[in-house]
Structure 1
Amino acid sequence: MQELKKLNLLYVEDELRTKDNYTKTFKIIFNQVFSTDNYNDAINIFSTNSIDFVLLDIELNNEKNGFDIAEKIREFNPLIPIVFLTALDHKDILLKAINSNINGYIVKPLSIEKFIDITKPILKKINLTQNFITFRDFKYYFDTYELFNKNNQLIKLGKKETKLLHTFLTNIDKVLSREFLEYEIWEEPLYSDTTLKNLMASLRKKIGKETIVNISKIGWKIETF
């Protein structure tokens, strides 16, 4: 699947041979694969890397399991797709998995065919290939108007800051004039350019001064690289 090749996977599995074998396979399917066998490493990897998809073994040989990892990851990012792996085809385990705010589960043994089958509707449902853009060290979701940094931490933006960023990111490679931005954000012209400049400065503090470039006497554009 071409969509998966654009994404980074976090894979948590405590069976060493299984983990190593599937990590090799996933590296062909995904852009990048981070694999581990425990809670602490999983959270550390997630918080320090750009992860787009999470595959978790529920039963881990330590105090915390896949449910604990999923719960913690949801605190960082409520949107990221999470799929559970379980060797137990027990009704109570599967019911808990379904009610754990995850996107799906696979009963072991894991196979690439099973993984692809469950992944297709997930990608289609959340529209991963279209609902976000990655720029510099950030990821912005167009449908929820949320901005995350490279550690998957939510960056709090004011309403006008969000509108300004959204406008830039939906007009990449375009130089946006003062008049255009005023109508997009305030829906009317402003009598002074101070308000827009202050808003621009506020947003730059959060995403980097060099991210928004001024084109003399024309307007502004966003640099995404």
Structure 2
Amino acid sequence: MMVTCNPLDILSNKKVLCVEDEAIILSNIMESLELFFGKVVGVKDGREALDEALGNLYDVLMLDISIPYIDGLDVVKKIRQVNKKIPIIILSAHSEQEYLWRAVELKITRYLCKPYDKNSLIKALEDVALELVEHQPCVQIMPSCVYDYCRKTITANEQILHLSKSESRLLEYFLKRPNQTITYEQLFEYMWEFEQPSKEALKSIVKELRKKIHSDFIKNLYGVGYLCEIQI
């Protein structure tokens, strides 16, 4: 089941890390990204970038090459050692072939040369969005249930049900980690990074997902967290 939609809608509940050492440029980039992403975090050097990227959960990275302490491509090289799939956009004033080849070897999603225009950024973000869902805007959770990443809807028993932002964010987290133990602490950090976590709020979201999907596919692991029993 394939549905035509704006691929950028996929980014609405994703988290992006932006790395740029010029404060004004960083602010402008973050302002642009906030139009598309659910959460945008900015840092100004390679050390901060590594600490953030390796210590927290991000869906997308956007880096300048010329940043203090560790250059952007070396940051990407270290990140690729532990995360080979995260989409990465490189922003740089460098157009030399050496930098381009290094970026290709690191499987960069897009290499944008500064100054770039709005259309170039949008095309890069569309590539990122398609990469995030592996070019499939819909995924079958079970025989009678399909999740649409673009529209944030569940189609179950021929009914289309809309998910809230929290419900879609939690479901996508589970879909990335099928049949894995997921602790309360992991979910608190992902769902409420800058807010006071609430186990009752989490239970309420899980309850609504089970109701809409008509399945107890999210299993309670008492005192630990949850296990999402699906085959995707």
Shift of 1:145: 7.7
Q: Is the 8 A contact 1:34 1:45 kept in 2?
A: no
Please name the residue that 1:187 is paired with.
Answer: none
Unmatched tracts of structure 1, length 5 or more: 153-168, 177-199, 213-220
Shift of 1:138: 5.2
Q: In the comparison of the two structures, how many residue pairs are matched? A: 169
How far, CA to CA, are the matches of 1:72 and 1:40 in structure 2? Answer: 11
Change (3 A) 1:55 1:137: same
Shift of 1:45: 2.0
Match of 1:107 among 110, 113, 116: 113
Shift of 1:33: 0.4
How far, CA to CA, are the matches of 1:138 and 1:120 in structure 2? Answer: 20
How far, CA to CA, are the matches of 1:106 and 1:147 in structure 2? Answer: 38
How far, CA to CA, are the matches of 1:16 and 1:147 in structure 2? Answer: 40
Change (3 A) 1:34 1:58: same
How far, CA to CA, are the matches of 1:57 and 1:88 in structure 2? Answer: 10
Unmatched tracts of structure 2, length 5 or more: 1-7, 140-148, 150-167, 191-209
Shift of 1:10: 0.5
Match of 1:75 among 70, 75, 81: 81
Check if 1:21 corresponds to 2:25: no
Higher relative contact order (CA 8 A, sep 6+): 2
Spell out the pairing of 1:144-183 with structure 2 (5 A cutoff).
149=186, 173-175=214-216
Check if 1:66 corresponds to 2:72: yes
Spell out the pairing of 1:1-225 with structure 2 (5 A cutoff).
1-60=8-67, 62-127=68-133, 130=138, 135=170, 139-141=174-176, 149=186, 173-175=214-216, 204=221, 209-211=224-226
* TM-score after normalising by structure 2: 0.59
How far, CA to CA, are the matches of 1:67 and 1:146 in structure 2? Answer: 32
Change (3 A) 1:50 1:139: farther
Cα root mean square deviation, aligned: 3.7
Question: Percent of aligned positions with the same letter in both sequences?
Answer: 21
Q: Secondary structure at the match of 1:55?
A: strand
Change (3 A) 1:130 1:47: farther
